[in-house]
Chains A and B, each alone.
Chain A
């Protein structure tokens, strides 16, 4: 289906629900991965729509996804990252979240 994604090893230890306070200082990043089905125009439109990015920034991010295999599209606390991932999945983009290094 999609290009082989680079393996990125998370440095954080997966924390159970009760330890939310431990990772409050560690930012989360949301990645969008390239895939051969989503069109470039569509991906850029989704970035504009979901994150309010300018056309230029949306296009730049989309090109990063296309040429480098993935791009960081947003970052923040865990809860925000999860919402962003959900909305990206809602639009059919292949998105994952992980700790920023």
Chain B
């Protein structure tokens, strides 16, 4: 996408991307971050800005299936991409995604600020580990997500519980 530039004037790149299975068009400044675009232009405020320095992971969304920190990606870099945010997880009937359900079941949150990013990262983690996911792998996989309330224990439990649901195996709970 070559942009012509006159002195003192910048064109606004027009972008088009899929967000939660809907096509979204927008004109953005070059500097507009993906998280700002999602929150301010698309109105999806479930994706949070936490640290704004790519450390905390509250802003994690998936772009073409990969979890990324949307505070550290330009909106224009997502042109043509398929973006999924926390709002796009539940079914048409409002049914929770298994990861959301397990976060609820295991009370994997306290204030909830980090939760959208945690859930988006966790889904990517589970999807990329079809052979299984140990507790150590879950903890290492959450390196990019910081929670300042619960101490991670219930988050780890929720993710472990979501793995069999997402990979089609019965859980111990379901068998009870």
Do these two chains really belong together in a complex? no
A residues at B contact (CB < 8 Å):
none
